[in-house]
Structure 1
Amino acid sequence: MSNVIRTRLVKIGNSQGIRIPKMLLDQLHLDDDIELEVQDSQLIIRAAQTPRATWAAAFQAMAAQGDDTLLDADLPPTAWEASEWEW
């Protein structure tokens, strides 16, 4: 179901803003940080994605494809590792 609410732009310094009703904020779980995107002449407002938010799903997909092993696991030690590295 679509909620259409009409509002006005308000002046904020040299910019303009909109007031988002609490009902919509609660429904969308919007917090302090949001992302704005212009798409087909529409302004899209969404909660900001946290860094690394999609990493878990990406790692699971890699594991499912067998692409989660270290690429250098079977390489012989380098000369530096053989002479300088101490355990």
Structure 2
Amino acid sequence: METAIIKIGNSKGLRLSKTILEKYNIKDKVEIILEMGQIVLKPIETPRKNWDVSFEKMHQEGDDTLLLTDVFDDEDFEEWK
């Protein structure tokens, strides 16, 4: 596919079609990767999106307890003073 470089203010850019944006799930940002003479655009996903909602649900269901006991319970912190 060929596309023209367009002027955007003092910069230049390229326009991606709606089809490409939807097919590759490109929202607001892309990562630009330069490798072996090529420019690769990679969609940026937000992997932690809505974690707050999930954590709240875990708390409400009592599923947010520690799986391991505190590793410092038996430590003598006096030697560190």
Q: TM-score, normalised by structure 1?
A: 0.54
2:52 paired with 1:48: no
CA RMSD of aligned residues (A): 2.8
Structure 1 position 25, deviation (Å): 0.8
Which of 53, 75, 78 is the aligned partner of 2:76? 78
Match 2:31 to one of 10, 24, 35: 35
Task: Give the superposition deviation at 1:78.
Answer: 2.9
In 2, distance between residues paired with 1:79 and 1:27? Answer: 56
By how many angstroms is 1:27 displaced? 0.7
Report the Cα offset of residue 37 of structure 1.
1.1
Matched with 2:4 is 8
Partner of 1:66: none
Equivalent residue, structure 2, for 1:26: 22
Gaps of 5+ in 2: 50-66
SS of 1:38's partner is strand
Q: CA deviation at 1:51?
A: 5.7
The percent identity for this pair of structures is 30
Q: Judging changes above 3 Å, is the alpha-carbon distance between structure 1 residues 13 and 78 closer, same or farther for their aligned structure 2 residues?
A: same
How many pairs align? Answer: 60
